[in-house]
C-alpha cells in the first residue's frame, strides 16, 4: 500500500511522459470504461466533473486511447452498465467508483474474469479479488482524524451523534476508526449513529430524529459536508442552541470557506477530494499504455483543515 504522493514521486519519470511523449507510449491503445455514480450530491458532482475533464485530457495525451464515461443513479443501473461496457463498448480496462460495495462486487468480478483490467476507486468491493488495483482516500485516517479533532474540541466531554454514509466498505472503515477514538474518551458518549447516505435531505431527516430523541447534543460528526448542510438546517429549524460543533468532511468549497471565515460551529473539515477519480484514471491510463500494472493499493491521505491551513484547500471555481 503506497500513498499517492510517494507513488507519484517514485514514478516521476513515468508521469512526465503524460505530457512529453504520448506518441511513444501509444503502442498500446486501451479502451478505458469509467463507471461512476451520477451527481446525486455535491461530492459525486465533483467526481463527474473530474472524470469528464480527465477523459478529454487523456484522449489528447495518448492518441488512440479511448475513454468512455458512464454515470449511474443506482447500484442496479451501474451493475448493468458495467456489463454493457464490456459487451457493447468492448472495453479492456475498467475504472469504477462503485455506487455501493456489495451489489457491484459480483458484476465487476465477472468483467475481470473476462480479461478486463479493473481499478476500483474509493468505495472498495467486498471481495478484493474482484479488482487489480485500488485507489482511494485514507478512509480509516478520515475517521481517526475526525474523531481526534472532535474529542479535542469537546475537551473530552459531551454527547455526540453520528451520521453515516451509504452502506459501503469505506463507510465502515471511517466509522470503525472514529469509534475506536471514542472508546478512548470515557467522557464522550456517542448517542446514536444512522445512515444519512451522504445526502442533504436524508441527513436532515436523520438529524430531526436525533433532535427529537436527545435533549442534549454537544456535537455532530456529519462525516460529509453535504450531510452537514442537512444537519445544520435541522438544528436551525428546531432552534436548538446546545449543538456547539458540526464536523463534516470531504473539503467542499462552502465548508472550507466557513472554516476560513472563523465560523463558530464549523471550525474544521477533513479532506477527501473527488479529484481522486482523476488520479485513478491517469495512473491507470499510464500503466495500461505501457502494458504495466498499478500497485495493489494507492492511498491518498486525509488532512485536517483548520483556519490555519484552510486557504490552501479552497477552490472557489470547483463544482464542489
The dihedral over CA atoms of 4, 6, 129, 52, expressed in degrees to the nearest 10, equals 30
Question: Model's pTM, two decimal places?
Answer: 0.72
The least confident of 24-28, 100-104, 121-125 is 24-28
DSSP per residue, 49-100: HHHHHHHHHHHHHSTT-EEEEEEESSHHHHHHHHHHHHHTS--SEEEE--SS
Average pLDDT, the chain: 90
Q: What is the mean pLDDT of residues 261-278?
A: 93
Q: What is the mean pLDDT of residues 249-257?
A: 94
In 3D space, the residue among 316, 289, 260 whose CA is nearest the CA of residue 25 turns out to be: 289
Flag whether pLDDT at 26 surpasses 60.
Answer: no
Confidence of residue 11 (pLDDT cuts 50, 70, 90): very low
Per residue in 172-188, pLDDT (tens digit) is 999 999 999 999 999 99
Taking the alpha carbons of 106, 171, 5, 98 in that order, is the dihedral positive or negative? positive
* Residues contacting 83, CB < 8 A, separation 6+: 107, 110, 111
Q: What is the mean pLDDT of residues 194-208?
A: 96
- What does the alpha-carbon distance between residue 175 and residue 98 come to, in Å, rounded to a whole number? 19
Q: What is the pLDDT of residue 275?
A: 85
Taking the alpha carbons of 90, 94, 99, 104 in that order, is the dihedral positive or negative? positive
Q: What is the pLDDT of residue 123?
A: 85
* Phi/psi at 260 (5° precision): -55, -40
Count the alpha carbons within 13 Å of 241 in the hemisphere toward its beta carbon. 0
Q: Which residue has the cell 460551529?
A: 265
* Residues contacting 111, CB < 8 A, separation 6+: 82, 83, 85, 86, 94, 118
Q: What proportion of the chain, given as a percentage, has pLDDT over 90?
A: 80
Q: Under DSSP, is residue 148 helix (H, G, I), strand (E, B) or coil?
A: helix
Q: Under DSSP, is residue 38 helix (H, G, I), strand (E, B) or coil?
A: coil
Q: Which domains does the chain have, with CATH numbers?
A: 2-137+273-301 (3.40.50.2300), 139-270 (3.40.50.2300)
Q: What is the pLDDT of residue 269?
A: 97
- What does the alpha-carbon distance between residue 253 and residue 228 come to, in Å, rounded to a whole number? 13
Per residue in 71-95, pLDDT (tens digit) is 999 999 999 999 999 999 999 999 9
Q: What is the mean pLDDT of residues 120-127?
A: 91
If one counts every other C-beta atom within 10 angstroms of the C-beta of residue 24, the result is 10
Q: What is the mean pLDDT of residues 128-137?
A: 93
Q: What is the pLDDT of residue 1?
A: 47
Q: DSSP letter at 318? A: S
Flag whether pLDDT at 12 surpasses 50.
Answer: no
Helix, strand, coil % in the chain, rounded to nearest 5? 50, 20, 35
Flag whether pLDDT at 25 surpasses 60.
Answer: no
* Residues contacting 186, CB < 8 A, separation 6+: none
Per residue in 36-66, pLDDT (tens digit) is 999 877 889 889 999 999 999 999 999 999 9
Per residue in 151-176, pLDDT (tens digit) is 999 999 999 999 999 988 889 999 99
In 3D space, the residue among 218, 30, 38 whose CA is nearest the CA of residue 119 turns out to be: 30
Confidence of residue 98 (pLDDT cuts 50, 70, 90): very high
Measured CA distances, 311 to 148, 242, 270, 275, 306 (Å) = 22, 29, 13, 18, 9
Which of the pair, 101 or 95, is modelled with greater confidence? 95
Flag whether pLDDT at 193 surpasses 50.
Answer: yes
Flag whether pLDDT at 23 surpasses 70.
Answer: no
- Pair 137, 302: CB distance under 8 Å: yes
Q: What is the pLDDT of residue 5?
A: 45
- What does the alpha-carbon distance between residue 248 and residue 222 come to, in Å, rounded to a whole number? 5
In 3D space, the residue among 167, 76, 172, 82 whose CA is nearest the CA of residue 120 turns out to be: 82
Confidence of residue 8 (pLDDT cuts 50, 70, 90): very low
Amino acid at each position: 500500500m503506497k500513498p499517492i504522493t510517494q507513488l507519484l514521486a517514485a514514478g516521476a519519470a513515468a508521469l512526465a511522459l503524460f505530457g512529453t511523449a504520448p506518441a511513444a507510449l501509444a503502442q498500446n491503445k486501451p479502451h478505458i470504461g469509467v463507471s461512476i455514480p451520477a451527481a446525486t450530491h455535491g461530492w459525486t458532482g465533483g467526481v463527474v466533473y473530474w472524470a469528464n475533464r480527465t477523459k478529454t485530457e487523456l484522449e489528447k495525451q495518448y492518441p488512440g486511447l479511448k475513454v468512455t464515461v458512464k454515470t449511474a443513479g443506482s447500484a442496479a443501473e451501474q451493475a448493468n452498465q458495467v456489463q454493457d461496457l464490456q459487451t457493447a463498448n468492448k472495453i479492456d480496462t475498467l475504472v469504477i467508483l462503485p455506487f455501493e460495495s456489495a451489489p457491484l462486487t459480483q458484476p465487476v468480478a465477472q468483467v475481470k474474469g473476462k480479461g478486463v483490467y479493473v481499478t476500483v476507486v474509493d468505495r472498495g468491493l467486498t471481495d478484493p479479488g474482484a479488482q487489480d488495483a485500488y485507489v482511494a482516500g485514507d478512509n480509516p485516517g478520515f475517521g481517526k482524524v475526525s474523531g481526534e479533532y472532535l474529542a479535542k474540541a469537546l475537551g473530552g466531554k459531551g454527547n455526540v451523534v453520528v451520521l453515516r454514509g451509504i452502506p459501503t466498505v469505506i463507510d465502515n472503515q471511517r466509522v470503525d476508526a472514529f469509534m475506536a477514538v471514542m472508546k478512548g474518551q470515557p467522557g464522550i458518549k456517542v448517542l446514536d449513529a444512522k445512515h444519512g447516505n451522504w445526502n442533504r435531505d436524508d441527513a436532515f431527516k436523520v438529524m430531526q430524529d436525533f433532535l427529537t430523541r436527545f435533549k442534549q447534543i454537544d456535537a455532530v460528526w456529519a462525516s460529509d459536508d453535504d450531510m452537514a448542510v442537512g444537519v445544520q438546517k435541522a438544528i436551525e429549524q428546531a432552534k436548538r442552541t446546545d449543538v456547539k460543533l458540526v464536523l463534516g468532511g470531504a473539503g467542499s468549497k462552502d465548508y472550507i470557506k466557513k472554516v476560513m471565515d472563523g465560523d463558530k460551529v464549523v471550525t474544521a473539515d477533513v479532506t477527501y477530494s473527488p479529484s481522486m477519480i482523476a488520479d485513478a484514471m491517469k495512473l491507470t491510463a499510464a500503466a495500461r499504455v505501457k502494458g504495466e500494472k498499478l500497485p495493489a493499493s494507492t492511498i491518498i491521505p486525509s488532512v485536517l483543515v483548520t483556519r490555519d491551513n484552510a486557504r490552501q484547500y479552497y477552490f472557489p471555481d470547483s463544482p464542489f
